[in-house]
Structure 1
Amino acid sequence: MTLFIKAKFSKLGALVALALSSACIPAIANDLPEHQTSNPWYSDAQSQLMQKLNTNNNFKAKNVILFVGDGMGISTLTAARILQGQQNNMLGEENNLSFEVFPHSALVKTYNVDAQTPDSAGTMTAMVAGLKTDVGVIGVDEDIERGDCSTLQGNEVTTALELAEIKGMSTGIISTARITHATPAATYAKSPDRNWEDVSDMPEDAVTAGCTDIADQLINFERNLESRFTGVDVDGIEVAFGGGRRHFLPRDEAFNSPDAASSTEGDRTDGRDLTAEWQEKYPQGAYIFDAAGFDSVDAASTERVFGLFNESHMQYEADRENDIAGEPSLTQLTEKAIDILDNNNKGFFLMVESGRIDHGHHAGSAYNALTDTIEFSNAVQKAMDMTNDEDTLILVTADHGHVFTIAGYPKRGNPILGKVVGVNSEDAATDANGLPYTTLGYTNGRGMMDLGSETNADVAYGMDINAGRIDLTLVDTNASGFHQEALVPLTSETHSGEDISLHASGPGAQLVQGTVEQNMVFHVIDQALNLTGSN
């Protein structure tokens, strides 16, 4: 005890001494050189500091919006901010994406329980359920055996979206990927395998054992949640926007949507039309599948809406105008969702995923990954404009990164998609073999593709793998169809294992700091909304 008291007073004495010494420091701000204080770098930093000093210090929120840029690692953020800046006639490096000016941020460790480099199923389950789990499983803990239906029961976990429903809040899910894909599915489904998107994807023994596919779980979310908690009465998810119609329709061309791209759009082998089942369950809701249907939804009077805008994933942002029946942008989806969800005076929880950032990287296309990241930033800005940081916590993060690099020594303002041109030079830099190289590249993947003005990165999967160094002298690397070189030849570029970032604004945002485990995201949400009643 004596040692403790001495230590305590020793610390107090040090603080007093620090305060006294600080008081003796003369105020010299007015004596700094004018060229220093008038420098825009200096004044901008001062302005940013003052903004942080005025940050909202409330801890409790009415609403939470969780934005997830799938595959949006640190290098993706850097390259996207530069590209956006250059598109706006800036040098680029000084630009910020909308959420990069949030007052609080942290680094997030992304590993899964069983994997150093993670996948989206395990990482998203961590973010919405508060614990880490294995690769490839949805809404369950690490005691599950992937692909084994018999291990499901007793290992299910409860998510922030489910808890928000129980609390009487409105809830929404948005993804530019299939709505049954790993990230959105982790908010509402429990599955031993992320690939069980519809019954045709499941082994017969799993179906016989009573496991249900992810699409089925979305349609029956309300019933499933109520069955797990005695006395709970919820009204179901109010907004679900994404792709993936094929998992909700039977394998019968008679059920094709008007804008079907395949001769038989549906994949289900059980003959069920889950879109019809949803409409029967929610007769006051609106099921939509194209831009016209989306535009017709009146947010003020709509009780709930289910939008499936593509057979598989939605289009890349750069390729969206080529959609058969038209697709809303991620910004438009976000705006409509907030307009509907904020009709509930108890508040709302909304998850928004930009799923195709990840897909652009897997295909080796920095252009598609970065333009989708910029649209993601636009969607975050829309959410900021539509909400109040006094009552709405906005979290922006990724689930993992990619083996995507920014390298060489390009000069300031060099086109981020271009070849490296050094400081005080007009000519492209060359490697030891005399070949030019680009600033952006991949450690592994399909390799260089010169597809001209193509805006759909997935075209690369129909081309031969072309990894290794290529002579880029006559190649326009700034073109939308250029895919960067890759070192290790693989059929698809891979995730990476480094930390990603978490940005926060609004009540409870001040808890986002330092380097944290990924499952901490759930606990920040819980603290803000008191979903579990523990704070």
Structure 2
Amino acid sequence: MTISLSIRGAACAAILALSASPTAVLAGAHPAPEVALEAALARTPETGPAKNIILFIGDGMGVSTVTAMRILAGQRAEMDGASYDLAFDAMPYGGLVRTYSVDGLVTDSANGASAITTGHRTVNGGIGVDGGARCGVCDTSRHVPTLAQRAKRELGKAVGVVSTAAITDASPAAFFAHSPDRNWQSDADMPAAAQAAGCIDIAAQLVLAEEDLRPDLALGGGLTFFRPEGAGGRRKDGQDLPALWSARPNSAFVTDRDGMNAAIAAGHDVLGLFAEVHIPHEVNRPAVAPQTPTLEEMTRAAIQRLAAEPQGYVLLIEAAHIDKAHHAGLLNAALTEGVELSKAVAAAQDLTDAAETLIIVTADHSHGLVLNGGGRGDDVLGLIKGPTGAPRLAGDGRPLPILVYSTGPGGPEAEEGRPSLEGVDVTAIDHVRQAGVRLGSAAHTGEDVPVYADGPGAYLITGSMDQPYLFQVMRHALRLPAVAP
């Protein structure tokens, strides 16, 4: 009995060591369990076909990232973060999605997004190609149609793609392109042998695709991949792709918010490229690029334009900088991008009818973010505190942040151990968060990612799912046949 009590006491002490002093818990937005049950019992699944599909990808948004996003969003709204609801938390259906590639336990964005948009797992680095492809080897027989291409060609639906990254980056490209190497964003990035074998760079595929495959709207970054050398770009073939886009009837190329809004109001097909490569992180964008639209603004513009199409539409919206900020260890920036994703989802819900639009929110892969402890009222970007409010010290005698990375540029040098953090503002937007193992760029991780859904066919999003299953749900919701004709 003495041993048992001692163990229990030690366990309790360990738990308390990771908790802050008690604080008042503010009211949250999540419904009480009994209310949630009543809502579930009253729910009637939408089993009919979907006129529209909106697929949100929070790049790098694993379960722990969603938890941290939720807490931060709630705290910024002056509510209890733990019980707060992001826009997609309130969706009625969801589950967990397994993420891996043909050649790895951990996927990159290219395979992860392609699995969702084509129904085929492929190699890391591959976009819109099947599992027999080899990274960097051009073989056009490996190309497989995307959901967007099939919806446009077979059903006459409009297609849109939106991202805070270059529109030629891995996840958005998986909606419209086919490449065994995600880095082939312009012809300057391709080996001569690949071009000779018939492969085309991703930017050219977006603009020069046949009319019944080409997206009607693309909003994001990546201007340098579309313009030739000598004209602010990197293309070696001399093609000015934005000029070719805007030369078509009822088409516009825009580079800022005002241009986007004017083109949308005019009902044009719109190519909006708002940055040379990636749109700035939202924590920096208002200061460095105030005329660049936010993810929410691009989402509203895209839906406004595509909703005018009588046959409906399919739309991919990527919050790319959750991942890109995670890679750099910029925790504040990463979670802020997640809050922006929630705003974009809320905008989509506001502008669509759940009886005709299937909305799915998921991720291509996860990141190694860990929530270590903290009190309910503590700033989730801060340090774990003790009863007096001072930081609690870990076994190395140094404070422990509430959130840390498993790998990344914030990892310790072998000789020095963890930094002391004395005098460091760990909540700052430029603070590089501590990591367990030092890497130049934080690594993806291989655990399941969450998925949330609402609308026609959403009831099929449940349990433990394989990533290509999400494609099958969307295909079924559109009533596309199992195999492309």
Is the shorter-chain TM-score for this pair beyond 0.5, marking a shared fold? yes
> How has the CA–CA distance of structure 1 residues 127 and 533 changed in structure 2, closer, same or farther, with 3 Å as cutoff?
closer
Q: C-alpha separation between the residues in 2 aligned to 1:69 and 1:130?
A: 19
Answering whether residue 378 of structure 2 is matched by residue 389 of structure 1, we say no
Q: Is the 8 A contact 2:30 2:84 kept in 1?
A: no
Q: CA deviation digits over 1:125-156, x for unaligned, max 9?
A: 1101112111101101111121111xx22211
Q: Is the 8 A contact 1:93 1:413 kept in 2?
A: no
RMSD: 2.2
Counterpart of 2:422 (choices 462, 470, 473) is 473
Q: Is the 8 A contact 1:279 1:286 kept in 2?
A: yes
The alignment's TM-score, normalised by the length of structure 2, stands at 0.90
Q: C-alpha separation between the residues in 2 aligned to 1:500 and 1:306?
A: 31
Larger radius of gyration: 1
1:478 Cα deviation after fit: 1.5
Which stretches in structure 2 are left out of the alignment for 5+ residues? 1-26
Q: Write out aligned runs for 1:105-184 (5 A).
A: 105-149=94-138, 152-166=139-153, 167-184=155-172
The match for 1:96 is 85
The match for 1:309 is 274
Q: CA deviation digits over 1:263-283, x for unaligned, max 9?
A: xx3111111111111122x23
Q: C-alpha separation between the residues in 2 aligned to 1:41 and 1:303?
A: 39
The match for 1:21 is none
The match for 2:258 is 292
Which structure carries more relative contact order (alpha carbon 8 Å, separation 6+)? 2
Q: Write out aligned runs for 1:314-333 (5 A).
A: 314-324=279-289, 326-333=291-298
Q: Write out aligned runs for 1:21-36 (5 A).
A: none
Q: C-alpha separation between the residues in 2 aligned to 1:164 and 1:426?
A: 56
- Identical counterparts, % of pairs: 39
Q: C-alpha separation between the residues in 2 aligned to 1:531 and 1:298?
A: 29
Answering whether residue 464 of structure 2 is matched by residue 515 of structure 1, we say yes
Q: CA deviation digits over 1:191-233, x for unaligned, max 9?
A: 111110001111111122221111110112225xxxxxxxxxx
Q: C-alpha separation between the residues in 1 aligned to 2:46 and 2:483?
A: 18
Q: C-alpha separation between the residues in 1 aligned to 2:317 and 2:402?
A: 30
1:345 Cα deviation after fit: 1.8
Which shows bigger deviation, 269-278 or 50-59?
50-59
List 4+ stretches of structure 1 deviating above 3 A: 39-43, 464-468
Q: Is the 8 A contact 1:241 1:307 kept in 2?
A: yes
- Report the count of equivalent residues: 456
Which stretches in structure 1 are left out of the alignment for 5+ residues? 1-38, 224-233, 256-264, 450-463
Counterpart of 1:69 (choices 55, 58, 66) is 58
Answering whether residue 402 of structure 2 is matched by residue 439 of structure 1, we say yes
Q: C-alpha separation between the residues in 2 aligned to 1:199 and 1:192?
A: 14
Q: Is the 8 A contact 1:448 1:483 kept in 2?
A: no
> How has the CA–CA distance of structure 1 residues 43 and 131 changed in structure 2, closer, same or farther, with 3 Å as cutoff?
closer
Answering whether residue 46 of structure 2 is matched by residue 79 of structure 1, we say no
Counterpart of 1:248 (choices 223, 226, 232) is 226
The match for 2:378 is 414
The alignment's TM-score, normalised by the length of structure 1, stands at 0.82
Counterpart of 1:273 (choices 217, 240, 248) is 240
Q: CA deviation digits over 1:66-117, x for unaligned, max 9?
A: 0000001111100011001111112311111110111111100000111001
Q: Is the 8 A contact 1:446 1:466 kept in 2?
A: no
Q: Is the 8 A contact 2:217 2:302 kept in 1?
A: yes
1:446 Cα deviation after fit: 0.8
